[in-house]
Amino acid sequence: MSHSEISTFNRRQWLQWSAALTAGTAAPWLGAQNAPPVPAKDFLVDGKHVTIVVGGPAGGATDGVARVLAQAFSAQLDREVIVENKPGAGGTIGSKFVSVAKNDGHTLLLGHIGTNVLSPLMQTPQPYDPRKGFTPIGQIGNTASVLLVPAGGPTSLQAALEQWKRKGTFSYASTGLGSGAHLLGHLLADAVQVKGLHVPYRGSPFALQDLAGGRVDAMFVTAGAIGSFIEAKKLVPLAVASAARSSYYPQLPTLREVGLQQVSNEGWFGLFASANVAQPIASAWHAHLHTALQQPQVVKQLQGLVVDIASSHSQKAYAQFIDQEINHWTRVVAQLGDALKAT
């Protein structure tokens, strides 16, 4: 295929994509997913690096996953792929940056349930539309949220719940308003009928330091961010918020096992591009992600971050999954109402 033929092909795909956007009011990525990928060299500009944005600080679990992928993509594309940290506001500062970035495929988001579902649903005014603000590329993997308390305090979930009930209150840290940790902390306080004091931070590294210092009572944290604190015996894990026990922490009960069925959240990581990225470009990134997740070294590195690699599926299936997540959590947030937004 000649350069002129490639250019014509790309223009045609852009027109098809634009027409799909104009025709529908639902998430645009649900209806236009049949275009084949174009080689990355045909849309990546020579001398321009690719950026993976993380809505949290360096050292967090999301940052770790992003750096694994950046290294893998750099090797595939033979170009620089950098990770840019933009923490704050429950991850929405970085996410909004990607949402409005130029839709040329050079800017990606390492997203998760907080940035791409919960935070935009729970913040007023809404920082971006979780459906129309991004182009889903693919799921990276799943991870559990672990309930942690400072060492020297309760050593079991039952002991912690009894202590908080006696006090009538407990404080819980999060990575910001609308984060998964915020929602889970609120749901836990509501389930055990005590007052929960929400203490937001700009990222998990800062929150974990204060938690280890005993300045807050508890926090739900992505499993990949807690290993060093547990090994140093600064924090004690009590339970996981997933539906099933974690293969990495099989000794920990789920909150469902103790009758707290509503305190549940399946954590995941995914890759997103900015809004209205042409489908051939999105398909190309999906192919690169799929290739990366098949590499033994990448799998090993992600497992070291307590991430279970997602089963291979199409980009369209992932987009439908995101849409289902938004629908589910929209109902939950609506049911909780102003009580959640006030914490």
Weakest-pLDDT range from 71-85, 167-181, 286-300, 325-339: 325-339
Residue 182 has pLDDT above 90, yes or no: yes
Rounded Cα gap, residues 291 and 77, in angstroms: 12
DSSP state of 88: -
Same domain (yes/no): 324, 237:
no
**How does pLDDT run across 113-161, given as a tens digit for each residue?**
999 999 999 998 999 999 999 999 999 999 999 999 999 999 999 999 9
**Is 249 contained in some domain?**
yes
**Is 330 contained in some domain?**
yes
**Is 90 contained in some domain?**
yes
**How does pLDDT run across 4-59, given as a tens digit for each residue?**
333 333 434 433 433 443 334 345 545 445 555 666 767 888 889 999 999 999 99
Q: CATH number of the domain that 172 lies in?
A: 3.40.190.10
**Is 197 contained in some domain?**
yes
The percentage of residues in the chain with a pLDDT greater than 70, rounded to a whole number, is 87
Cβ–Cβ under 8 Å, residues 325 and 156? no
- Higher local confidence (pLDDT), 95 or 6: 95
Same domain (yes/no): 179, 92:
no
Same domain (yes/no): 289, 337:
yes
End-to-end Cα, the chain, rounded Å: 58
Same domain (yes/no): 76, 99:
yes
pLDDT of residue 337: 80
Same domain (yes/no): 81, 133:
yes
Residue 194 has pLDDT above 70, yes or no: yes
Give the residue-averaged pLDDT of 276-305: 95
Same domain (yes/no): 184, 93:
no
Same domain (yes/no): 17, 128:
yes
Same domain (yes/no): 138, 166:
no
Same domain (yes/no): 247, 166:
yes
Q: How confident is the model at residue 207 (pLDDT cuts 50, 70, 90)?
A: very high
- Higher local confidence (pLDDT), 311 or 132: 132
Domain edge (last residue) among 258, 289, 320 = 258
Cβ–Cβ under 8 Å, residues 268 and 313? no
Same domain (yes/no): 236, 311:
no
The percentage of residues in the chain with a pLDDT greater than 90, rounded to a whole number, is 74
**How does pLDDT run across 50-83, given as a tens digit for each residue?**
999 999 999 989 999 999 999 999 999 999 999 9
Q: How confident is the model at residue 225 (pLDDT cuts 50, 70, 90)?
A: confident
Domain edge (last residue) among 258, 278, 302 = 258
pLDDT of residue 7: 34
Domain edge (last residue) among 237, 258, 279 = 258
Same domain (yes/no): 125, 239:
no
How many CB atoms sit inside 10 A of residue 111's CB?
A: 28
Residue 342 has pLDDT above 90, yes or no: no
Q: CATH number of the domain that 21 lies in?
A: 3.40.190.150
- Counting the structural domains of the chain, the total is 2
Same domain (yes/no): 26, 110:
yes
Weakest-pLDDT range from 1-15, 171-185, 233-247: 1-15
Rounded Cα gap, residues 138 and 141, in angstroms: 9
Residue 309 has pLDDT above 70, yes or no: yes
**Is 263 contained in some domain?**
no
Domain that holds residue 93: 3-143+268-341
Rounded Cα gap, residues 263 and 217, in angstroms: 17
Burial 30-63 (b: 16+ CB within 10 A, else e): bebbebebbebebbbeeeeebbbbbbbbeebbbb
**Is 326 contained in some domain?**
yes
